[in-house]
Amino acid sequence: MADPASNRPTLALHVPEPKSRPGDPVDFSEFHVPEAGAQSRPDEGTKPEDMKDFAYDLVRVLGEDNKAHGPWDPKLDPDTLRTMLGHMAMVRAFDERMFRGQRQGKTSFYMKCTGEEATSVAASMALASDDMVFPSYRQQGILIARGYPLIEMINQIYSNAGDKLKGRQLPIMYSSREHSFFSISGNLATQTPQAVGWAMASAIKGDSRIAATWVGEGSTAEGDFHSACTFASVYNAPVILNVINNQWAISSFSGFAGAERTTFAARALGYGIAGLRVDGNDALACFAAQQWAANRARANQGPTLIEYFTYRAEGHSTSDDPSGYRSAQEREEWPLGDPVMRLKNHLIAIGEWDEERQQAMDLACAEEVKATTKEAEKNGILGHGLHHPFHTMFEDVFEELPWHLKEQAEQATRERKIKWPDQHPMDGAGK
Amino acid sequence: MNAQSKEMTETSAPTGRRINMIEAINEALDTMLARDPDVIVMGEDVGYFGGVFRCTAGLQEKHGKTRVFDTPISECGIIGVAVGMGAYGLRPVPEIQFADYIYPGIDQLISEAARLRYRSATEYIAPMTVRSPFGGGIFGGQTHSQSPESMFTHVSGLKTVIPSTPYDAKGLLISAIEDNDPVIFFEPKRIYNGPFTGFYDKPVEPWKKHDASVVPEGYYKIPLGKARQVQEGEALTVLAYGTMVHVAEAVAKDKGIDADILDLRTLVPLDIEAIEASVKKTGRCLIVHEATRTSGFGAELSALVTERCFYHLEAPVERVTGFDTPYPHSLEWAYFPGPVRIGEAMDKILKD
């Protein structure tokens, strides 16, 4: 309570508020979109303190004319560009189908990455296939770019008898050691110090592999992110910290993670880490920035923090309805456009692609996802019987089953005979 | 002959080299650093300085800065990077300076280290051993005395180990480091230098006067999940671990009670066979720990004994624990579950 006798001014709490709410017109006029190609490309060994401007600028390659501009142009050959576009189209087709699958009751949950495909597909294509990635839950593009079988993804989403993770994990919490893709956790930002630790281990052993981690801008507020940046800086760890600033953390706009006063790339400055801010809807800029950071890490020049400025075009998840907290016009008027369209238009502009081939590719992606979905459904869908046997629930808590888990496994088996007497005891399944 | 002396006659004579618990822990780390190039020791002040309790003294000089190193003051970071190192294939042994300060790292322990094998269906594991001094009796006040073991025993996927002698500390720590599951290794700092009996007004004897300070050089292991028979008796079973093993032993001796005392050594996985065998023999059970009472590990022990030995029990299972308050500074000896509290509980159990 303010003291009426005091002559000191009263204090006021600032609670951030986004510029537009449902029904409001949107205004992105304050957001300065610099000219593509206008940013210089520093040497990969540049000291962090000499890179301050890069934390506030926006690295862009693809211009309004759909051509590649400036020193950040990675000069990829047309085949690589078509592969990149193909992966991004596949991610989009996959997201569409899986979202629908959730609505049809085939699984409990799904999360799309619509509008952010370049930040995972294009960025990860700049890494070596054995560089270790520590993703959040919105980098399915990395798995697709690394050739992870779609059927494994769908089996995991359906938690069925074919699920490599034995139905233990919420849909989309993939893991693939073979593809150097770390097990996804529901706990936000925990993967960031883990990526730093992996990179430290690689350095301790004199290895040549590097680590990269992805985290949303909302999760940068977690203490783990601060720990990750500190350890990365202290030990000069060969790691890339990718921050996907898609403007929204469920219903909270980026202002609640600190975006009103600074950029996320500028966080790097205080840690003495190289920071880059990149157009996250520009696949070539995403590739180029990741390549720059990878070269830097590989040469023992230390970590890089990259902010990808992008927009979460869809709801947070199948459990979310964004019309409850943000203007529908935002997506329409987002000034950096759509990453798939921009890459497609670039390929067309350089005479290496056309609308007919694009349509054929989109159709082929949709058909492949559909056929694979049908194949995966033979292993079951959530809640329809086909799943891993009961005893697997107790396995892998520890390397070996201790006595108390053995006792509990026996109890589950007894219960099972009472609850589902018609089922075959070995498969836990309804066949 | 008890289990301890049996193991010792197998490995060395009781007249052998005698060291304290700090030296035993240091030797375990030294042995494993030399034996396995993937073992990494890290934590606040553990490197150049050798640790605030000297447990890592000399290790950096001997094994190099990339094997034994200081870290920023960030428990979340220490445990988080250890999980990442484990995913790479290293075998990190991070230190948390006091168990009271493990909480900033608890999300990484519970949500990550403990679940990693399960959630990835064995693709990734966290073969790490988190060492941390714990327990009171040293005028450590609120934040240098806590015993948070039940926070970890409640987490599926973690193993919790607490030694009570130099011999056990070395053998159990080597087992913990070699174990492929994440292990919380709590070191009772009250007994780093000698076996404290709870009679706080009497001088503490150094470990050198105790047979369990005879510690073999080099590599040996004590299996996780196996209790130690401290002394055999018929009157009642005492279940204890850490400092309280020595306190219970001293009280039983002081009162002339023929107690069957088990040092649990590992809380998860628990040596349920040894517990059942003892309680079925004596028909009476006393559980002793320093940690606060409500939802402490004693509650789990009491429930297990009651469930599994009910028809053998001749008296209710008793718990002697710390009180349900934060650990006080000036009233340390009023708080500490010492000889008076244990003695009363023993009398009560034996009266029925």
Domain definitions of chain B by residue range: 3-215, 228-351
Q: What is the DSSP letter of A304?
A: E
CA distance A373 to A368: 8
CA distance A125 to A289: 11
Nearest Cα of chain B lies from the Cα of A45 at a distance, in angstroms, of 23
Q: Could you tell me the mean pLDDT of each successive run of 10 residues in chain B, 352 residues long?
A: 44 77 98 98 98 98 98 98 98 98 98 98 98 96 97 98 98 98 98 96 93 97 98 98 98 98 98 98 98 98 98 98 98 97 98 82
List the single residue in A with minimal CA-CA distance to B81: A197
Q: Encode pLDDT of A208-257 as tens digits.
A: 999 999 999 999 999 999 999 999 999 999 999 999 999 999 999 999 99
Mean of pLDDT values over A23-37: 93
Domain with CATH 3.40.50.970 in chain A: 48-377
First to last CA, chain B: 30
Q: Which of A197, A397, A398 sits opposite B81 (nearest CB)?
A: A197
Write the CB contacts of A234 (distance below 8 Å, at least 6 apart in sequence): B71, B72
Hey, is the C-beta of B66 within 8 angstroms of any chain A C-beta?
Answer: yes
Mean of pLDDT values over A112-131: 98
Question: What is the CATH topology of the domain spanning B228-351?
Answer: Rossmann fold (3.40.50)
B120/A177 CB distance under 8 A: yes
* pLDDT above 60 (res A327): yes
Q: Encode pLDDT of A387-417 as tens digits.
A: 888 889 999 999 999 999 999 999 998 998 8
Token code pair at residue B137: 């009796």
CA distance A60 to A69: 8
* pLDDT above 50 (res A70): yes
B121/A192 CB distance under 8 A: no
Q: For chain A, give the percent of residues with pLDDT over 90.
A: 91
pLDDT bin (cut points 50, 70, 90) of residue A424 is low
Nearest Cα of chain A lies from the Cα of B38 at a distance, in angstroms, of 9
Token code pair at residue A358: 């694009």
Nearest Cα of chain A lies from the Cα of B208 at a distance, in angstroms, of 36
Mean of pLDDT values over A369-380: 97
Q: Which of A176, A197, A203 sits opposite B83 (nearest CB)?
A: A197
* Structure ipTM: 0.96
- Cβ-based contacts of A231 with chain B (< 8 Å): 71-72, 74, 77, 80-81
So what's the pLDDT on residue A383? Answer: 85
So what's the pLDDT on residue A386? Answer: 81
CB B199 within 8 A of CB B145: no
Q: Is the Cα torsion angle B14, B17, B22, B24 positive or negative in sign?
A: negative
CA distance B209 to B247: 16
CA distance A228 to A250: 23
So what's the pLDDT on residue B137? Answer: 92
* pLDDT above 50 (res A426): no
B119/A399 CB distance under 8 A: no
Q: What is the DSSP letter of A186?
A: S
CA A393 to each of CA A396, B110, B233: distance values in angstroms, whole numbers, following the listed order: 8, 18, 41
- The pTM (predicted TM-score) of the whole model is 0.96
Q: What is the DSSP letter of A70?
A: S
B115/A223 CB distance under 8 A: no
The domain covering A48-377 belongs, at the CATH homologous superfamily level, to Thiamin diphosphate (ThDP)-binding fold, Pyr/PP domains (3.40.50.970)
User: Which residues 231-270 of B have a C-beta within 8 angstroms of A?
Assistant: 268-270
CATH 3.40.50.970 given to domain B3-215: yes
